Amino acid sequence: MSAPGQGNPGAADRKTSLVKMGAWIAVFLLLSISLVFQIFTWLTVRELREAAPAPSNRDLLENMQTELADMNQTLSSLAREQRWLQDCVFLLDKENSRQENMAVQVNALFSRLGEEETPFIRYRPKGEEEWTEEELHLTQGLEYSTRILLSPFYEYEYMAVARGAMEISSDTALIPYNVYGLPRWSTDLKLSFASGSNAVDFTIFVLVSQNAPLPEMRAARVSLRVESPGLEPESVLFTEDRNAAGAWSTAWSLPDAAVVNEISVFIDVAYENGLTRSEPFELLKDRVRYETGRS
């Protein structure tokens, strides 16, 4: 028997266990009810969406399609507007060309041109703002022509213009350079680092194309010009390879590769008619590879 004033410990423990079990059952029931409610809500929302697709999405798609159609129509209209100039051909007139002025025949073909519209050709050295303008004269049908004088030292851009009740013009384009200009050239180089020093030895090759517009525009002398602050320019002549038309080469040494950022290098070409052309030359284009390629 238990002592007076003391309860039954086993009964108390069973009572505590029953209370805890009841609490866990209540929590489980609440979670189950919540899960069932969420599943029911999700199913209801899905049915509503399937039964009535959102009209805002359809409206957005229709608006995008309309805008794209309008854009395509605008681009097509602009393309048709540009087609009023069918073709523009430039031909060098060698017989009437002289040293500094290349005589060029311009032949333009239009797809349409109003009776009150007068066509012109505008041209200017590439990169400049001011245009030179020459009227195009009718030859036959919708074909027009004129003659312009161009310097062989510039690349030119042009546009065709027609003025009448209003002015219309073509896109700006480049006149093909080989029609009127000096022949281009390509360059290449080989290099080697001098043993035990910072000197770099260069062998530079220049290939001057032989499609000169005039015989007098053939290259007569090619030279390498090196400029550095505070020093007189250094000039090194190229030697022409008689067995390879247009091929020139020279050798040049840079005493210290560390000063490469302080010098400017140019290739100068003098032509048989006395004109000269000069362009900068990138001596060390890939400087990191050159400076670390020392053996």
pLDDT recorded at residue 23: 53
Structure tokens given for 11: 């009964």
Looking at the chain, the whole-number percentage of residues with pLDDT higher than 90 is 27
Which residues make Cβ contacts (< 8 Å) with residue 182, sequence separation at least 6? 152, 153, 212, 213, 217, 269, 271, 275, 277
What whole-number distance in Å separates Cα of residue 95 and Cα of residue 214?
9
pLDDT tens profile 111-133: 888 888 899 999 999 889 999 99
Report the DSSP beta bridge partners of residue 109: 87, 143
Question: pTM score > 0.75 for this model?
Answer: no
What whole-number distance in Å separates Cα of residue 202 and Cα of residue 224?
12
What whole-number distance in Å separates Cα of residue 89 and Cα of residue 108?
6
pLDDT recorded at residue 292: 37
pLDDT recorded at residue 261: 81
Average pLDDT score over residue span 157-171:
89
What's the CATH class of domain 185-292?
A: mainly beta
If DSSP codes are grouped into helix, strand and coil, which group holds residue 268? strand
pLDDT recorded at residue 47: 64
In DSSP notation, 88-113 reads EEEEE-GGG-BTTBEEEEEEEEES--
pLDDT recorded at residue 1: 43
What backbone phi and psi angles, to 5 degrees, belong to 83? Answer: -75, 0
What whole-number distance in Å separates Cα of residue 155 and Cα of residue 176?
8
- Return the minimum-mean-pLDDT range out of 4-18, 185-199, 205-219, 228-242: 4-18
Question: What is the domain partition of the chain in residue ranges?
Answer: 13-80, 85-180, 185-292
pLDDT higher than threshold 70 for residue 12: no
Average pLDDT along the chain: 76
Decide if 85-180 and 185-292 have a common fold: yes
What whole-number distance in Å separates Cα of residue 120 and Cα of residue 108?
10
Question: 37 or 39: which carries more pLDDT confidence?
Answer: 39
pLDDT higher than threshold 70 for residue 275: yes
CATH number of 85-180: 2.60.40.10
- Return the minimum-mean-pLDDT range out of 15-24, 80-89, 180-189: 15-24
What whole-number distance in Å separates Cα of residue 4 and Cα of residue 37?
54
pLDDT recorded at residue 211: 66
pLDDT higher than threshold 60 for residue 14: no
What's the chain's length in residues?
A: 295
Average pLDDT score over residue span 184-197:
80
Confidence at 289, pLDDT banded by 50, 70, 90: very low
pLDDT higher than threshold 80 for residue 246: yes
Which residues make Cβ contacts (< 8 Å) with residue 121, sequence separation at least 6? 88, 106, 108, 133, 134, 136, 146, 148, 158, 159, 160, 161
Looking at the chain, the whole-number percentage of residues with pLDDT higher than 70 is 65
The radius of gyration of the chain's CA atoms, rounded to the nearest angstrom, is: 42
pLDDT higher than threshold 50 for residue 244: yes
